[in-house]
Chain A
C-alpha cells in the first residue's frame, strides 16, 4: 500500500493512542481537518494492508506483576519450525515469538520466544512447558535474561516533510 501525506499525518496523530472518548475517530478527524468517514476508511485500509497490525490495548507487564522476563531461544527442526512457532506464540505467557536465521557455529537457535512471569522461577517453569511442547523437534535451548537496559528509544516516524 502506498501511503500519502494524509496517511502519515494520521499515523503521527494516533501513534500515541486514540482519544478515550465516545467518538474517537471523529475527534481524530477534527484534529486533522478530515471527516470521520475518511479517518475510518483510511484506518481500515491500513489494517487490511498490514500497516496497522491491530488496534488494541497495550498492557504494562510490569504493572500487571510480570516483573521477570527472559528471551528463550530454541533450535527447532526447519521442517517443523513454522508449525511449532505458531504453537509457542499461542501460549498465554509468551508476548513475542519470532523465527530468525541461525548464526552457526555461534548460534544454533532459530525460534525466539519472550517469556513473562512474576519471578524468574516462574519464567523457568514456563520455559520447561515450552520445552515439553517442542520436545520431538527441538535439539537445544537457552534463555537470556536482560541484566541492563543500555538504550531505549521509541519508534520514530520520519517527518512527512523530510
Chain B
C-alpha cells in the first residue's frame, strides 16, 4: 500500500466527490455504476474509469464489501501491555508468534504495545491472552469493542 502522499493536484473535484460519496454505500443493482454515477452526474463509463484511476494511483485501496468478521462468527479484542524497554524486542517475538495476533503497534505511552487478537470464538481470545500473560509474565489488558460509531472519513471537496 502506498504510504506517501500524492501530489496535491493528483485528485480533481470529481475524484474527491467520488471518494466521499462512495463511502456511503453502493447499489445492489445489475448496473450499479450507472446508478451511483447518476447521483454524481457521471456516466457509468466515467465513474468506472475514475475508480480505476484512483486505484492505480493508490488513492483508494479497494472498492467493495466490508465484511464484519464478528458477524461472521469471529471474535476480536484490542489488547495492551506495559512492556519494559529492555525486554521490548523479546516480548514482540513472543506476542507476534501467536497467529491470532492480527496486528501489533508500538505506541507512545506507558502501555506501549497494542495488538488485536482475532480468534474463531470468544473463548479463544481469553485463552490466547492468558497464554501471552504466562509467557511474558506481563498483564494483558483487554479492551473488547462494546459499541462502534462509524461514519467514515472525508476529503475536502
Interface residues of A (CB under 8 A from B): 1, 3, 11, 14-18, 20-26, 36, 40, 43-44, 46-47, 49-67, 71, 82, 85-86, 88-101, 103, 106-107, 112, 116, 142, 144-153, 155-158
Contact = CB atoms under 8 A, between A and B. Distances in A.
Contacts, number: 243
Contact of A89 (B60, B143, B150): B150
19 contacts: A17-B64, A20-B52, A26-B30, A40-B30, A51-B67, A53-B66, A55-B65, A56-B26, A56-B66, A57-B62, A58-B61, A58-B66, A63-B6, A89-B150, A96-B148, A97-B148, A150-B113, A151-B102, A151-B104
Interface residues of B, number: 80
B87 interface: no
A60 B118 CA distance: 23
Nearest to B77: A100
Contacts of A158: 120
B80 to A, nearest CB: 8
A144 B107 contact: yes
Interface-centre pick from B51, B61, B144 (highest chain A CB count, 10 A): B61
B127 interface: no
Given A90-B149, A150-B105, 10 more contacts: A1-B71, A14-B65, A22-B45, A53-B67, A56-B24, A57-B54, A91-B151, A100-B143, A112-B143, A149-B105
Contacts of B55: 20
Contacts of A88: 149
A15 B30 contact: no
B155 A62 contact: no
Sorted from nearest, which 7 A-B pairs have the closest CB atoms? A89-B149, A17-B64, A150-B104, A148-B106, A17-B62, A55-B26, A151-B104
A36 B92 CA distance: 46
Contacts of A46: 65, 67
Contacts of A61: 153
